[in-house]
Amino acid sequence: MPTSPPITIPAYGTTLKKGTVALALVFEIDGPESENAGRNTTHLGSVKKSKRPTLPEGQPLSGKAYTDATNYAVLTADHDAGTIDTWSLGLPKDDGGVAVTLAPTFEAWPSKVKMSGIEEDGTITIEFELTPANGVTW
């Protein structure tokens, strides 16, 4: 039975990319987000609490995706080695067929990779989490 890696079909939508190479088709996603926690700056002369922003911090990007055995091996090898690389999301075209150029890019490592299913054609369903080493760029 011939197999076709799902990542070669861009019509499916959002892709997870390592560098410029699409490794998976994302069907459920949470993030990426950037958090800028506040810190208290109240002094003794204040009658109210005051706060200031700290440094922005990237929060994990997690989701579920379809991939193939080769790309799953890439993800698990990077996970096991703690490899930090450039990751991004490739977004689908808009309703007019125009490519969406706004996409998040970030330095991260795969902090979680879990196989959660495999189809007869070899398509693997995974759960993943990428932890940013620094901020997220849009």
pLDDT for the residue numbered 87: 94
CB 63 within 8 A of CB 94: no
Backbone angles phi, psi at 80, to 5 degrees: -65, -35
| Measured distance CA(120)–CA(110) in Å, rounded | 26
CB 62 within 8 A of CB 132: no
Across the chain, which has 138 residues, the per-10-residue mean pLDDT values are 46 82 91 82 85 84 94 95 94 76 87 93 94 84
Tokens of residue 27, six digits: 């069907």
Tokens of residue 80, six digits: 């096991």
| Measured distance CA(23)–CA(128) in Å, rounded | 12
Read off the pTM: 0.77
